[in-house]
Chain A
Amino acid sequence: MKLNGSQLICESLLLEGVESIFGLPGGAILPLYQTLPEYPSLKHILVRHEQGASHAADGFARVSGKPGVAWATSGPGATNLVTGIATAQMDSVPIVVITGQVPRAAIGSDAFQETDTTGITLPVTKHNYLVMDASEIPQIIKEAFHIASTGRPGPVLIDVPKDVQTEETEFDSETFATNYKNIKIDLPGYKPTLEGNIAQIKRAIKLIEDSQKPIILAGHGIIFSNAYEELKDLAEKAQIPVITTLLGISSFPETHVLSAGWPGMHGMAYSSIAIEQADLLIALGMRFDDRITGKPSTFATKSKKIHVDIDPSEISKNIKADVPIVGDIKHVLQKLNPLVKSKSHAKWLKEIEDLKVEHPSLQIRNTEKLLPQYVIKCLDEVTKGDAIIVTGVGQHQMWAAQHYTYTEPKTLVTSGGSGAMGYEVPGAMGAQVARPDKTVWSIAGDGGFQMTMAELATLVENKIPVKFAILNNNFLGMVRQWQEFFFDKDYVATEYSRNPDFVKLAEAFGMLGLKVTEKKQVKSAIQKAMDYDGPALIDFVVEEEENVYPMIPAGQSVENLIEEPNPEKAVSS
């Protein structure tokens, strides 16, 4: 049987090992949808909004390590995907997105639901394609998965005109699998450097040997590169403390003696201070984001920097590297580790330990009020630190990153670079689809949750048992905090004075809904939600004007660190 464009898409996806697709149909992608019944092993999850599809594909990819797939129709379907695509781009997440497009002959005519999808997504994708001939589909899909998942991963979009989906090709179903296997990826402009340059690695070794106060900064790259063991080897062998970035959380067990927190705007004070005192920063798969550096010119001025990244454009982009190493972290560390001499750094480790005692950023003040931080602590306890945590963006995100104990890789899923509120619902859906065996807790903000809560219907419909902890402060809390600190408590447009009844809402969607207003109810509610067979939601009505500490205001440096005010003095606020 000769295959048409839609069949080629489905066949190719199957050969790429795709099992789940998040999407929503429309005219320009209908031929592809009508082909789906021929491919029962491609599981389609019908979302309520296309943003849900692209975020779910992203959550799936972060947890599974395999590219997530989302698709939608042309025009508004495609534009609704964009937030999720941009989120994946900022955090280097491999997703493959397929969009329907108006028929070839209509392109450029402002036809119904025509949008320049490749034009719109060009700056927020790693690469994109407009398919003008159905016979190119297998080549393009193979390239798309290759580009999305290798090098520095990222989203790839394929725009497929409707008549390309129905166009018959010379490919035959009998021989297609072999044909696909034999397709050569021919991308002369895309050859990621994997092996680090040995001369640079030797220079790095010299710096490591000379250093008295080294720190490893472990980023998202460790996770993409599966370099957990190599990271641990390096840290243990030379006794170097490991500080992670927000996205690097879970790349190194937080229970490890060498774990030294995470720094930056809302990171632990001792981690930020330690970075300033270090004489060597070994940056592994991280990009010196402004949430970490604050003002770049005053960041970590006492230290030399070794910067390992697979993306050459990240090196010396924000912070100048003394030793640049372009390569895959795993490969680089496999070469570097054997050359590293065992060391102890006992004095330095003690200094950091002392800093930690002097700056107890994670202490929760003792009060009868229901504090959001306390909820996270209880979640950590009840789940024994063994859940996958997905968050939205805001205060709850920072508390989730601070107060849960991450020990296993890929257990914190959060929109870092983009800071996309609304990620917490579909992102958690994708995470749970990737790991049906795990408990997935979405730590949600009342604001972000309401941006994408339509996907609760998708969860119930598809029996995806995500558990939600809404840290409901009736505020766009993080913005309110900025208004409190920097605008004299002038709370313009940040209060939600009439949030919906989240318990009734959960029930309306067909899930378990619980409400918690007191400390003593917290653990039992969490347990109840976990015991429930299906998606569940807890509305934690928390202290409204609680702040995230510590804080280094945007664009400033550690000197301007704001630590939690003395609890006695803080009671009135």
Chain B
Amino acid sequence: MISNTLSKHTITALVQDKPGVLNRISSMFRRRGFNISSLAVGQSESETLSRMTFVVDGDDKVVEQVTKHLHKLIDVIKVTDISEENVISRELALIKVKAGAEHRDQVMQISSMFRANIIDVSKDFLLVEATGDENKINSLINLLRDIGISEVMRTGSVAMNRASNKGSKKIKQSIVSTRKWDEAASV
């Protein structure tokens, strides 16, 4: 979809941990032409539910449609657009840097500035492990690129809203209280 205010939005979804759920979700994104820039999935606080974090490209209208269509899937229990809120987002990156002895210090220096760890060293390579928000990982990768990167593996962001971390007691309630579509739709 064309839009003039393209930006990245972070959406989280609480979904049933059942076979095929990821397929339902990715199929919906593909079919409706929505762009996912990253996706991370893992178990939630409940054994039967997973939580997904999507980073989606698009304007407000696109994001409104994405959240509504996600919510329309029977296996999706709760959808939250947390882009606007006080969100903490982190991803993990493993970066293999091509660096012989002459560049090791430089890599270590850069890594320590980013609070990243060197987790493996060989004659020609260093393996850097970093966590942080997307921008931080991007900056780190940019700096390391000048030295020489041979492989990058990123998990995609997982995100959580500071205020929403209320512990498991509230979960039942949040499952029942889905969002107020009427208001959401009038953006």
Count how many chain B residues have C-beta atoms less than 8 Å from C-beta atoms of the other chain.
33
A325 and B182 in contact, given A118-B20, A189-B74, A313-B72 (Cβ under 8 angstroms): yes
Q: For residue B12, give the distance in angstroms from its CB to the closest CB of chain A.
A: 14
Residues of B within 8 A of A197 (CB): 180, 182-183
Contact A200 B178 (CB under 8 A): no
- Write out the residue numbers on chain B whose beta carbons fall within 8 Å of the beta carbon of A196: 182
User: How far is the CB of B122 from the nearest CB of chain A, in Å?
Assistant: 39
A311 at the interface (CB under 8 A from B): yes
CB distance from A205 to the nearest CB of B (A): 15
Interface flags for B161-187 (1: CB within 8 Å of A; 0: not) read 000000000000001101011111111
Q: Check: B158 CB closer than 8 A to any chain A CB.
A: no
Please pick, from B20, B69, B77, B186, the residue contacting A324 in the complex, using a CB distance under 8 A.
B186
Closest to A124 in B: B31
Contact assessment for A311 and B72 in the assembled complex, using a CB-CB cutoff below 8 Å:
yes
| CB <8 Å contact, B65 and A317 | yes
B115 at the interface (CB under 8 A from A): no
Smallest CB–CB gap between B156 and chain A, Å?
A: 23
B131 is an interface residue with CB less than 8 A from chain A: no
A112 to B15, CA, bound (A): 34
Bits for A294-318, please: 1 = Cβ < 8 Å to B, else 0: 0000000000000000011101110
Contact B69 A313 (CB under 8 A): yes
The answer to whether B185 touches A190 (Cβ under 8 A) is no
**Bound state CA distance, A190 and B77, in angstroms?**
7
CA distance A250 to B61 in the complex (A): 34
Q: Does any Cβ of B come within 8 Å of A326's Cβ? A: yes
Contact partner, B24, options A122, A187, A316, Cβ 8 Å: A122
Interface residues in A308-338 by Cβ distance below 8 A to B read 311-313, 315-317, 321-326
Q: Does A567 contact B (CB under 8 A)?
A: no
With known contacts A200-B182, A325-B182, A312–B74 Cβ distance under 8 A: no
User: Using Cβ atoms and an 8 Å threshold, which residues of chain A touch B185?
Assistant: 312, 315-316, 321, 324, 326
Residues of A within 8 A of B180 (CB): 197
The yes or no answer to B64 lying at the interface (CB within 8 A) is: yes
B36 nearest CB across to chain A (Å): 17
A127 within 8 A of B: yes
- B75 interface residue (CB < 8 Å to A): yes
Given that A191-B178, A324-B182, A326-B181 are contacting pairs, would A316 and B64 also be in contact in the complex, using a CB cutoff of 8 Å?
yes
Known: A123-B31, A189-B74. A312 touches B175 (CB 8 A): no
Contact with A along B2-38 (1 / 0, CB 8 A): 0000000000000110011001100110010000000
Q: Which of A125-149 contact B (CB under 8 A)?
A: 126-127, 130, 147
Contact A188 B61 (CB under 8 A): no
Q: Nearest chain B CB to A327's CB is how many angstroms away?
A: 9
* CB contact under 8 A between A312 and B76, given known A197-B182, A326-B182: no
Q: Is A173 an interface residue (CB 8 A)?
A: no
Residue of A nearest to B72 (CB): A313
B1 to chain A, nearest CB (A): 12
A188 touches B77 (CB 8 A): yes
- Decide if A147 touches B68 in the complex (CB within 8 Å): no
B71 contacts partner chain A, Cβ-Cβ < 8 Å:
yes
A37 contacts partner chain B, Cβ-Cβ < 8 Å:
no
- Closest beta carbon of chain B to A375's beta carbon, Å: 40
Q: Report A182-211 residues with CB < 8 Å from chain B CB.
A: 187-191, 193, 196-197, 199-200
Q: How many Å from the CB of A184 to the closest CB on chain B?
A: 15
Which of chain A's residues have a CB closer than 8 A to the CB of B110? none
Residues of B within 8 A of A325 (CB): 182
Q: In the assembled complex, which residues on chain A have CB atoms less than 8 Å from the CB atom of B28?
A: 123
Asked if A127 contacts B74 (CB within 8 A), the reply is yes
Closest chain B CB from A190 CB (angstroms): 5
Minimal beta-carbon separation of B57 from chain A (angstroms) = 19
Given A189-B77, A315-B181, 15 more A-B residue pairs with CB atoms under 8 Å apart are A122-B24, A122-B27, A123-B27, A123-B28, A187-B74, A188-B176, A189-B16, A189-B71, A189-B73, A311-B72, A313-B69, A317-B65, A324-B181, A326-B182, A326-B185
- Can you pick out 14 interface pairs between chain A and chain B where the beta carbons lie within 8 Å of each other? A122-B23, A147-B74, A187-B74, A189-B16, A189-B71, A189-B73, A191-B176, A193-B181, A197-B182, A312-B68, A316-B185, A321-B185, A322-B186, A324-B181
